[in-house]
Amino acid sequence: MPGDTEDRPPQADLPEVLIADLPAEHALCSTDPAALGKPEKRKRLVFVGDVHGHLSALQALLKKINFDHRHGDHLVFVGDIVAKGPDSAGVVKLAMEVGASGVRGNHEDNVLLAHKDLLKKKKQHHKDTNLASEDLTLEEEEEEAEGETDSFTATRNKHADNARAVARSLSAKQIKWLSSLPIVLRIGQVTNSTSENIPWNAGEIAVVHAGLVPGLAFEDQDPWAMMNMRTLLYPALDAASDASSVEDIEEPDETIFPDETFSDDDSEGPATTTEDLLVAVPSDTRQGEPWSHAWNRYQNTAIPSPADRTIKGIRYAFGIDSGCGHGRQLTALVLETGPKSEDGVLHHIEQVDCGEVEK
């Protein structure tokens, strides 16, 4: 079954800090009356979707929104900033120069695993030939190992060559920066507890690359799932549909999997459904229920980056992967402190066409 751990490819070493907090200096001070309405005092959080090595598109997007990290703007990458595109090293360089935050996506994980594999081969080559380590580059070792099959290549043939190329293009400092990215970045609260500014009044805001399983604390989430998941599977429902003797579990329908969110009037929470009694299994396939649909039934906000072709402004989840890696758009979700009349928080979406920018 998709989601079973034994069926998953290997992962790179996880970062020392799986769940990190946005540095306090970048928090949005939306409750400070003295700061509101003053452009020079405003702070903006700029969340950027999957860049995939498209440096020109990223630069064009930042120029479009007049991004300036020296005057209160902070850049947050939602994973997959590397691979596929022409200049992964350039994107990482820019990210480091502006002091960006971010989370690890599945492509960062691929690149880090490729780098680890190349280093392992380099050490083995040194052991076998008694060459000094500085006499053999990662690229030369790749040529030496051509034709060999390893665990990385065997499980990730689709992206292995590109991941190796990206790993070779990054400096040691860039690899270290990439490996330090957490799986979850907690943004914290951006409004006060009495705010009616939906969805930013939901409480904790979190950034993950792929998704989250509703009902689980961040500490209990599966790191693989947060980097790779697209949907949620409900094995008990699948079993019930194939076993007529099982009468206690209903077939999935719109009552169990509603597209709409619950209204604010549901102060006691939504009515219990069959789904509440089931175990949700994260999957990297397109089978099952989109995880964000389930997430909307919980009063929190997430800013994930699901692999989708369109921008989805779902009530308590924003997906901002708009396909730059495939020549479509690169998207930024800009969150900023605003006038008091706007309850202190504003957000808007900006895009550039990756194909047009790089012509």
Domains annotated for the chain, with CATH where assigned, are 5-104+176-234+280-357 (3.60.21.10), 236-279 (no CATH)
Q: Which structure tokens are listed for 339?
A: 């006038």
Cα 227 to Cα 66, 181, 183, 195, 335, distances in angstroms = 30, 12, 7, 32, 23
**Kind of pairing between the strands at 329-337 and 345-353:** antiparallel
Calculate mean pLDDT across residues 145-153. Answer: 50
Q: How confident is the model at residue 83 (pLDDT cuts 50, 70, 90)?
A: very high
Calculate mean pLDDT across residues 142-146. Answer: 49
Cα 52 to Cα 1, 168, 173, 232, distances in angstroms = 29, 16, 19, 25
Q: Flag whether pLDDT at 155 surpasses 90.
A: no
Query: Tokens 């499980």, residue?
Result: 155
134 versus 174: the higher-pLDDT residue is 174
pTM of the model: 0.77
Q: Flag whether pLDDT at 29 surpasses 80.
A: no
Q: Flag whether pLDDT at 172 surpasses 70.
A: yes
For residues 23 and 264, give the distance between their C-alpha atoms in angstroms, rounded to a whole number.
Answer: 31
Please report the pLDDT score of residue 239 as a whole number.
55
Calculate mean pLDDT across residues 274-298. Answer: 76
Query: Tokens 């380590």, residue?
Result: 133
For residues 118 and 113, give the distance between their C-alpha atoms in angstroms, rounded to a whole number.
Answer: 9
Q: Which residues lie below 8 Å from residue 310, measured CB to CB, with a gap of 6+?
A: 322
Q: In what order do the strands lie in the sheet with 289-290?
A: 281-283, 231-233, 289-290
Q: Which of 170, 175, 114 is nearest to 145 (CA)?
A: 114
User: CB–CB of 205/302 below 8 Å?
Assistant: yes
Please report the pLDDT score of residue 236 as a whole number.
73
Calculate mean pLDDT across residues 151-163. Answer: 67
| 202-227 pLDDT per residue, tens | 677 899 999 998 888 999 999 999 99
Please report the pLDDT score of residue 276 as a whole number.
47
Q: How confident is the model at residue 115 (pLDDT cuts 50, 70, 90)?
A: very high
* Range among 157-161, 162-166, 286-290, 340-344 with highest mean pLDDT value: 162-166
For residues 41 and 249, give the distance between their C-alpha atoms in angstroms, rounded to a whole number.
Answer: 55
Q: What proportion of the chain, given as a percentage, has pLDDT over 90?
A: 40
Please report the pLDDT score of residue 123 as a whole number.
75
13 versus 248: the higher-pLDDT residue is 13
Residue 235 is which amino acid? P
Q: How confident is the model at residue 269 (pLDDT cuts 50, 70, 90)?
A: very low
DSSP string, 139-179: HHHHHHTTT---HHHHH-HHHHHHHHHHHHHS-HHHHHHHH
Calculate mean pLDDT across residues 280-299. Answer: 81
Average pLDDT, the chain: 75
